[in-house]
Amino acid sequence: MLYQVYETQRSLMEPFVDFAQAAAKIYSSPGSPFGQNPLAQRISAGYSLIYRLGKDYEKPQFGITTVDVDGTNIAIHERIELDKPFCELRRFKRFTDDPATLTKLKGQPAVLIVAPLSGHYATLLRDTVRTMLKDHKVYITDWKNARIVPLSDGSFSLDDYVNYVQEFIGHLQGIYGNCHVISVCQPTVPVLAAVSLMASRGETTPLSMTMMGGPIDARKSPTAVNNLATTKGYEWFENNVIYKVPGNFPGAGRRVYPGFLQHTGFVAMNPDRHATSHYDYFKDLLKGDDASTEAHTKFYDEYNAVLDMDADYYLDTIKTVFQEFKLVNGTWNVKSITGQLERVRPEDITTTAHFTVEGELDDISGSGQTEAAHGLCHNVPKARQKHLEVKGAGHYGIFSGRRWRDIVYPQVKAFILEHNEPVALAGRAKAAPKKIAKPATRSSPVTTPRAAAKKSVTKK
């Protein structure tokens, strides 16, 4: 019922939000009779704030049309390479008429950026993409809002996420021979699992993995996010935060973790900071500080745009990553697209270089959580491992903003370039994927898409 109540409230508020937007424009217009009021600017600022607080935030656009490469303006064409039920593999194709620049672009590494599926859209990594485009061929996972995915497309589990990543890596390998992978926050875990499974099968693994601010080992330096998952049982999450999509969306009836709940959780982590930010926005409107108000608008257009996550995926992640720590405990079995259960064994990775990045002040993925990947991938030579802690950086600072561009990116670029050639196996025989005979049950995170889809339809 909560989702229906939320949508009803939003629909009732919509006329008032539209009125606030119109009133803000009327009072701010010097040609309007209302704009002559001595308090016009203050009234306009108040209505603008009401509009910003009440409006419905839709999925933002990447909006990357050009990038500068060594003084040459490069055109960017954004296109969908693969369209899956729950994700689009999006490519940012670069074009130029300059022959020398074109030759340079063709020789640059291909990079798959795996964006988080944790409430926000992939556009949250816009700055990451724009910066990477200067020196790389860039692809990104653009996850879909589960409420627009029809029930006929089945459910989406953490296993499906891992399989998607393997498919996307294989797609890039088919085009370029191999690629590099960057994962930000939540996907560090399924990306490491995907590469581990590929290694266990003896398949070609990516040249490098860069893992940034993710919960590889969520037991280390637990944050508020970790504490919530460990203090509440699996059943609590299933019974209290999972709701069905209302009938006015294409995914009507799908069980999801709603984006508005995730957004509420984000805001609750730093309520004073957000309140101060909105008050500063009001004051900036009064002062006519267009630069500051535009910066506020851009940030919250992104921050407030949230998506729903399929219930199976969300619950699998809670159980696998934050409650049972299956990756670090060596107990994680993933169901492949062929229906076979395979054990995730990071120790089977021998050639993929890996670089972990953490923010000193990260309040989402605590210190040491991402660095733990080095201990799991202990058969990768030390010379192909690197760790960076970014001083003064919070969670977003390691992939967006000044610290990302000035501190993190130069090292990521150098690491990718250093490991852009394949290496021979270090004389270690590849282990065959370990098959698990025990069939999957509902209490297990291993769930077939068909069974999960059936459950999402039949459970009322």
**What pLDDT shows up at residue 370?**
97
**Residues of the chain with pLDDT > 70: what percent?**
92
Rounded Cα gap, residues 367 and 365, in angstroms = 7
pLDDT at 424: 63
Highest mean pLDDT: which of 101-105, 174-178, 436-440?
A: 174-178
- pLDDT-derived band at 413, boundaries 50, 70, 90: very high
Residues 282-309: tens digit of each pLDDT: 888 888 898 999 998 888 888 889 999 9
426 CA to centre of own chain: 33
- Residue 438's pLDDT is 43
What is the per-residue pLDDT across 334-370, written as a single tens digit (0 to 9) for each?
Answer: 999 999 999 999 999 999 999 999 999 998 999 999 9
- pLDDT score of 12 more than 50: yes
Q: Could you report the per-residue pLDDT of 272-286, keeping only the tens digit for each?
A: 888 999 889 888 888
pTM of the model: 0.87
Question: Between the CA of residue 12 and those of 15, 52, 258, what are the distances in Å?
Answer: 7, 16, 19
Q: Determine which of 162-176, 318-332, 423-437 has the lowest per-residue pLDDT on average.
A: 423-437
Instruction: Look at residue 360 in the predicted model and tell me its pLDDT.
Output: 96
Q: Which two tokens stand for residue 370?
A: 């991402």
Three-state secondary-structure class, residue 120 = strand
pLDDT over 90 (residue 262): no
Q: Inter-axis angle of helices 271-287 and 40-54, to 10 degrees?
A: 150
Position 6 pLDDT exceeds 70: yes
% of residues, the chain, pLDDT over 90 = 66
Residue 3 in this model has a pLDDT that exceeds 90: no
The predicted pLDDT at position 428 comes to: 41
pLDDT tens-digit map of 420-434: 998 765 434 344 445
CA distance 30 to 201: 69
Q: Residue range 102-106: average pLDDT?
A: 93
Which pLDDT score, from 0 to 100, does residue 425 have? Answer: 52
pLDDT digits (tens, 9 = 90+) for 42-89: 899 898 988 888 888 889 999 999 999 988 899 999 999 999 999 999
Q: Measure the CA–CA gap between 281 and 293, rounded to whole angstroms.
A: 6
* Position 267, amino acid: V
Q: Where are the alpha helices (DSSP H) in 37-121?
A: 40-54, 99-106
| Residue range 66-241+311-458, CATH number | 3.40.50.1820
Domain range summary for the chain, segments of one domain joined by +: 2-56+259-303, 66-241+311-458
The C-alpha atoms of residue 419 and residue 243 are separated, in whole angstroms, by 45
